[in-house]
Structure 1
Amino acid sequence: MSCLKCLKYTMCGANFLFFMCGVAIFGFGISLMTKTKVAGLLPSLAFMSVANILFITGIIITCISFLGFLGALKENRCLLISFFILLFIVMLAELAGACILLVYESDIDKRIAADLRTSLKQSIDSRNNTVVKEDDWDLLQQTFECCGIENKTDWEGNIPSSCYVNKLSTDKLFDKGCYNLMKEWFESNLLSTGIGVIVLCSIEVFSILRCSTFPQRVYNDCLIIVFKNIS
């Protein structure tokens, strides 16, 4: 029983931690929506702006982790099974995405490069025609400490303040392009991210296996909830 309690509180703690991370990501996405111009880096996928991605990711993480936390805390089998199903769907989506990246790596690479050039052109045009307002390119360049796709010449002379090491000074520019730095970052973090996902899913799966200890109660609890809702 002590082992099961330890597993229960481990699952509660892990899900609470991810719930707080989800809330933080969700809030940061809303903050970006209000403070920056929502412009996607990939025009062919209009919803793929940094703010939208953070907003959607935050909602998914918050909802799933809250379901797991509440199910583990109350030891409600129906909630735990629902949590396991949602977690399994997310795992399948991640696996499918990884397979697509491996199979179509060269095609995706060319498509992303072309989309980045299109979005950079749109950013340049918007800065020329309207009052300057930060967009996803400013966030990208400040995050990766880069300028343009390949280098500063991509901005066609209209270099934004986010390309400078100090936004209040024009003394020094970031000398590297964003595209190669993004690829390097993705490749360097791919393995550690995969290991983290495997460890997390292992903890969750072992926690869900508690349900199999009392299989009859799983069905009884679910049926009672269903019949109560019907009545």
Structure 2
Amino acid sequence: MTHRCLKCLKYTMCVANFLCFMSGVAVMGFGVFLMVNFKLTALTPSLAKFNIANMLLISGIIIACVSFLGFLGALKENRCLLLTFFLLLFFLLLVELIAACLLLLYEQTISEWVERDLNNGLKEANGSHADKFHSEWDLVQKMFDCCGVHNVSDWGVNVPDSCCLQDCADLQDRQYRPMGCLDKMRSWFEENFLTAGISVIVLCIIEVLGMCFAMTLFCHISRSGLGYKF
């Protein structure tokens, strides 16, 4: 009976890690797609390396590598791979908890940092490379139904068409989007805060279950004298 349960645990780990590996590959592919088609580097110049596309690419690589390690370790009943998988999951869990605590503790500082970076990005968009950067701001302003960082006055005299509520052809009756992108982004994060929190909790539970499964299989292999020995 115990042997059957452990066999079931082994193949459950294999299937779960394979699904996670495919999810990681999908996330990585989506990140590459965003990097090629949406290079949002003008919004936050100092945070350009930490944009959504790069974060998705890095997350996809990490998920794919860790899940492949767990899949191979469970399939081959390799103690070394299972222990490495356990340690990597433990490390990722610690990083996620630390990051969540830092975001809560330094929420105001991060908000001021993003605001300052958005202002710098808008200044660059009004500079010599306006055509290159306007397209990025147009995308965000249409997506969030906003204009400028705080309001339309941030653009000065070079107000892009994406700030208009309707047609910008009529110069006299132009109506601009009333809210700035900073306030819209804050509202969007506040509305999705509960969803993000639940997602993080579910992710942590999955990681803890993966650690428990890996350690259970590791101990069974050690007691049975199977797998590679250190």
Fold in common (TM above 0.5):
yes
Residues 15 and 68, structure 1, Cα contact 8 Å, conserved in 2: yes
Question: Number of paired residues?
Answer: 218
1:75-94 to 2 correspondence within 5 Å? 75-94=77-96
Q: What is the match of residue 63 of structure 1? A: 65
Whole-Å separation in 2 of the counterparts to 1:160 and 1:72: 56
Shift of 1:207: 0.8
**1:183 pairs with 178, 182, 186, which one?**
186
Q: Could you tell me how far apart the structure 1 residues matched to 2:175 and 2:78 are?
A: 58
Shift in Å, 1:204: 0.4
Change (3 A) 1:54 1:3: same
Larger RCO: 1 or 2 (CA < 8 Å, sep 6+): 2
Residue 132 and residue 206 in structure 1: after superposition, are their counterparts in 2 closer, same or farther (change >3 A)? closer
Distance of aligned partners of 1:221 and 1:51 in 2 relative to their CA distance in 1, 3 Å threshold: same
1: CA distance, partners of 2:75 / 2:165: 48
Match of 1:99 among 81, 98, 101: 101
C-alpha spacing 1:203/1:176, structure 2 compared with 1 (3 Å): farther
Structure 1 match to 2:203: 197
Unaligned runs of 5+ in 2: 169-173
Is the 1:37–1:133 Cα contact (8 Å) retained in structure 2?
no
The one-letter code sitting in structure 1 at the alignment partner of 2:160 is I
Change (3 A) 1:16 1:125: farther
Distance 2:109 2:65 in 1: 34
Q: Does 1:18 align with 2:25?
A: no
Q: CA deviation at 1:174?
A: 6.2
| Residues 42 and 122 in structure 2, CA contact (< 8 A), matched pair in contact too | no
What amino acid does structure 1 have at the position aligned with 2:159?
N
Q: 1:39: Cα distance to partner? A: 0.9
- Tell me the distance in 1 between the aligned counterparts of 2:80 and 2:161: 53
CA distance 1:220–1:131, change in 2 (3 Å): closer
Deviations 1:58-85 (A, max 9, x none): 2112111211122222222211111111
Question: Which of residues 201, 222, 228 is equivalent to 1:215?
Answer: 222
Match of 1:149 in 2: 149
Structure 2 counterpart of 1:48, one-letter code: F
Matched letter for residue 115 of structure 1 = D
Residue equivalent to 1:113: 115
CA distance change for structure 1 residues 69 and 41 in 2, over 3 Å: closer, same or farther? farther
Q: Give TM-score, length-normalised by structure 2.
A: 0.75
Structure 1 or 2, whichever has the larger Rg, is 2
Paired residue type of 1:204: G
- Note the residue ranges of structure 1 that are not aligned, 5 or more in a row: 224-231
SS at match of 2:84: helix
Deviation readout 1:95-143 (Å, 9 max, x if unpaired): 1111212222221221121112212332343652x457743x4554555
Q: In the aligned structure 2, how far is the partner of 1:188 from the partner of 1:197?
A: 14
SS class of match (1:125): coil
Aligned residues of 1:43 and 1:119 also touching (Cα < 8 A): yes
The CA deviation at 1:200 is 0.7
Bigger drift between 172-181 and 52-61 goes to: 172-181
Q: Return the offset for 1:180.
A: 3.5
Cα displacement string for residues 174-225 of structure 1 (whole angstroms, at most 9, x for unaligned residues) = 65544344334442333212221222112202211221234367897143xx
Distance, in Å, in 1 between the alignment partners of 2:8 and 2:134 is: 51
What's the RMSD between the two structures over aligned residues? 3.3
For residue 23 of structure 2, give the secondary structure of its aligned residue in structure 1.
Answer: helix
